[in-house]
Amino acid sequence: MPAAQIDGYKVLEIKTLGRNRDAEARQMLERVAKQVEPIMRKREWTVRKLSEFIPRSPNLLGLNVNRGQEVKIRLRRAGHEGAFYDWNHVLGTMLHELCHNRIGPHNAEFYKLLDELWGEAEELMDKGISGSGQGFDAPSAGRLGSHGFIPTHNPPEYQMAAAVRKAAEARARQQALMPAGPCKLGGSVDYRHMTPAQAAARAAERRAADNMWCGAEHSAEQVEREVGSGAGAGSSRSHSSRGTSPSPASVGAAAAAAAAGAAGFG
């Protein structure tokens, strides 16, 4: 495969909103783009633009437009523009939205792929690999950046063990707070010990909750209403799903309908 084609399997452009703490917002988007680049290269995925957005709905966290034409991620907590979500949260949103490059709906195939991506991301982080995985992106003690030495790759073994443990603890804490949100929460749901009806209901709950924060299964008109408030001139640099969050009542109805429809599987 030509090198130029391989180089296209990554995030090609990053755009922030130019708001308070814009440099930190850009740094977070650049970091998440580099962390998922090996995953994107493996699957030959491209995201033409990765952008920050602040949608009207406080529940909406991510959006994948036209299977990678643009991925939008909320970095700032709703109602607190100066407060950012933590790294695991943003990475989880990015991995979720990347899955929509291949699969639109939140179905069983989607969640299987999401678990695969989380497993690969954790392995890459354990090894200290990001970006191309070569040269300065290969495992090392660190690299020089515009703000001095940045230990983004393999530190000494004792530091790496502490970093991995800290990441695992953060994901465990989020499990209690966001049972179906963008972060990997202790692995896949184990359906083996559930009845078909219980498994169907659990799957429906997960889909309904994910539809609250991911705009993958809603209309273009709803998307326009939600994303409009997060638009703006912003700041970009080179480097399909659509929707909005439904109301709690509609989520409940969707969960009930999905559970009823899925109750017949074996």
Averaged pLDDT, 210-225? 68
Q: What is the pLDDT of residues 256-265, one digit of tens each?
A: 333 333 333 2
Burial (CB count within 10 angstroms: exposed 0-12, middle 13-18, buried 19+), residue 227: buried
pLDDT at 265: 28
Asked whether residue 241 carries a pLDDT value surpassing 70, the answer given is: no
Which of 238, 167, 178, 263 has its CA nearest to residue 12? 238
Q: What is the pLDDT of residues 116-161, one digit of tens each?
A: 999 999 999 999 999 876 544 555 434 333 333 333 344 455 555 5
C-alpha 92/C-alpha 182 separation (Å) is: 5
